[in-house]
Amino acid sequence: MKYYIVIPAHNEAKNIAFTLQSLVYQFHKPKKLVVINDNSSDETEEIVEKYIKKHKWISIINKTSDKLHLPGSKVIQAFQTGLDSLDNDYDFIVKADADLIFPANYFETISKHFQSDERIGMVGGFAYIEKNGEWVLENLTDKDHIRGAFKAYRKECFQQIGGLKPAMGWDTVDELLCKFYNWKVVTDATLKVKHLKPTGVNYNKNARFKQGEAFYSLGYGFLITAIASAKLAILKRKPLLFFDYMQGFWKAKMAKNPLLVTHEQVKFIKKYRWKTMKEKLF
Q: What is the pLDDT of residue 209?
A: 87
| 233 vs 240: CA distance, rounded Å | 7
Q: Distances in Å between the alpha carbon of 233 and those of 49, 195, 221, 239?
A: 40, 20, 18, 5
Q: CA triplet 84, 62, 160: central angle to 5 degrees?
A: 20
Q: What sections of 105-240 are H helices per DSSP?
A: 106-116, 155-160, 170-180, 210-217, 221-235
Q: Distances in Å between the alpha carbon of 171 and those of 42, 46, 103, 150?
A: 27, 30, 22, 10
Q: What is the pLDDT of residues 104-141, one digit of tens each?
A: 999 999 999 999 999 999 999 999 999 988 999 987 76
CA dihedral of residues 104, 149, 144, 258 (deg, nearest 10): -160
Q: For residue 210, which phi and psi values (nearest 5 degrees)?
A: -65, -30
Q: For residue 151, which phi and psi values (nearest 5 degrees)?
A: -110, 125
Q: State the fold for domain 3-195.
A: Spore Coat Polysaccharide Biosynthesis Protein SpsA; Chain A (3.90.550)
Q: What pTM did the predictor assign?
A: 0.89
Q: What mean pLDDT comes out for the span 1-5?
A: 98
Percent over 90 (pLDDT), the chain? 79
In whole angstroms, what separates CA 75 from the centre of its chain? 9
Indicate the average pLDDT of the chain.
92
Question: Which residue intervals of the chain bear CATH 3.90.550.10?
Answer: 3-195
Q: For residue 256, which phi and psi values (nearest 5 degrees)?
A: 55, 50
